[in-house]
Structures are given as C-alpha cells and as structure tokens.
Amino acid sequence: MYDLATRRHALALLGEGKSINSVSKETGISRAAIRAWRTRIDPLPRMNQSAPCSGPSDAAAYAYLLGLYLGDGCISPHPRGGHHLRIACADAWPGLIELCRAAILAVRPTARVYVLQRQGCVNVTSYGRHWTCLFPQHAPGRKHERRIALEPWQQEIVDAHPWEFVRGLIHSDGCRTTNWTVRNGKRYEYPRYFFTNKSEDISGLLTGTLDRLGVQWRQANKQNVSIARKESVALMDAHVGPKY
C-alpha cells in the first residue's frame, strides 16, 4: 500500500502539469492508482467499502494468489452461505500446489485448505465468507467473456508487489520453455517465457506490469505473450523462474 505522502507527491506532480503517463514512469506507480487518487486520496479503510471483510494478512502473498486466481481460479457459492475458492493446479507441478496452499494460508491464516483430485490436476480449495470481496473479479461467466479490471486497492498491492503478481500469472497460465532456431546451418537454443490467456484484459494486466518492471515482451498472437529477449528472460529467471 502507498502512504499518504506518496499519494500527495504523485498528485503534486500532476499539479505541475505533468501527464499521468509521465508521473507513472517517474514514480513507478501505475496509472490506474494515480487516476483513483484524483478521486480519493485517502486509503480505503477496507478493500471494498460494501464488503464486510478486512484486507489480506499478507499483501505479497495476495499479489501471487491474485495472479493464480486470474489464470486458473474460480469462486463458487456454498449452499449454506459463503464460497469456495478453487485454484486448478496440474499434477505435473507439485511445487506449485504447495505454493498455492501456502499463499491461501498467508492471505487468510484461519482458513482451511484442502486438495481435491481431478483428472490430470488438483483443485486447491478453501471455504470462506470473504473470497468474493477479496476477489471482486468474481462474476457469472468465463473471464475472457467479460471485463476484468483491478479495484484501486488491488492495483496498489500489485504496484507494491509486482513480481509476485507476475509470478502468479506465469505459474497459472504461463511457462518457461526452450525454443530453437537455425542460423547459418547451426541450431541455436534459447529460453523463452510464454503466457497464454484468452482474456485481453488479463493479458493486459500482465503486460502493463511487465512494462513497469522493464521486461520486454511481444504479442506472439492473440492469446500468447512472449518474453524472449536475453535481458528480460534473465529478469524473469531471477524473480519468477520455471514451475516445478
């Protein structure tokens, strides 16, 4: 979360005639957060004023879990009230399953987390009465068929913990792979990160964060974001790494 002094400084730069884009580049704060501060500078007392729940216990863990949720998560109602949060994790990545469990417990220390086996994957699942206010992107229908945008309080957490957010997105709908090409009759191999998602909004959340982190990317096709520049792959390796 950004303190009040940081918010006032950003707005003061706007008052000097600078654009939101230039202030964002100068301070490293997202344009969405700066726009929100023009309407309300004080931090919200709760994540969602209409929701009777407090913020996540661990903001960094929440940024990671948010990435997992946007990629492979869903929320479903319980017949007696409350909701189940489910994150689908492939059996091939047991380390990811444990990271997901740990993130849920860090965000909601009193929650119970269990694993439901499905064909080829498990659903890391947790019941609670606050998942819908923790993840206000929950709504009927598939994510790629509706608008996905972060609330200002979520954007502040992502701005404060951008690598955790990127890591969650890559761990859900991304991968680190080895590509190859032939030059002058010789085969060359090089590492590359891919992110695949049908939602342009979710892909935009990833690429916007990558821009702020100085990671170069390109749109391989409508559903795929590619990171292949040597320096950018090195940054990703240092902060994200392959699934395991």
Q: Are residues 25 and 105 in the same domain?
A: no
Domain annotation covers residue 158: no
Determine which of 110-119, 158-167, 194-203, 230-239 has the lowest per-residue pLDDT on average.
Answer: 110-119
Looking at 95, 121, 149, the residue that finishes a domain is 149
CATH number of the domain within which 113 lies? 3.10.28.10
Domain annotation covers residue 177: yes
pLDDT of residue 5: 85
Q: What is the pTM of this model?
A: 0.79
Domain annotation covers residue 244: no
Q: Are residues 70 and 131 in the same domain?
A: yes
Looking at 149, 178, 212, the residue that finishes a domain is 149
Domain annotation covers residue 46: no
Domain that holds residue 114: 59-149
Domain annotation covers residue 157: no
| 113-to-7, 23, 64, 154, 194 alpha-carbon distances in Å | 37, 41, 16, 23, 29
Looking at 93, 114, 149, the residue that finishes a domain is 149
Residue 167 token pair = 């890591």
Domain annotation covers residue 154: no
In this predicted structure, the answer to whether residue 177 has a pLDDT above a threshold of 70 is: yes
pLDDT of residue 227: 97
Q: Are residues 69 and 143 in the same domain?
A: yes
Q: Are residues 107 and 69 in the same domain?
A: yes
Q: Are residues 168 and 210 in the same domain?
A: yes
Amino acid at 115: V
pLDDT (tens digit per residue) in 39-57: 667 665 444 444 446 679 8
Q: Based on C-alpha coordinates, what's the Rg of the chain?
A: 19
Tally of domains in the chain:
3
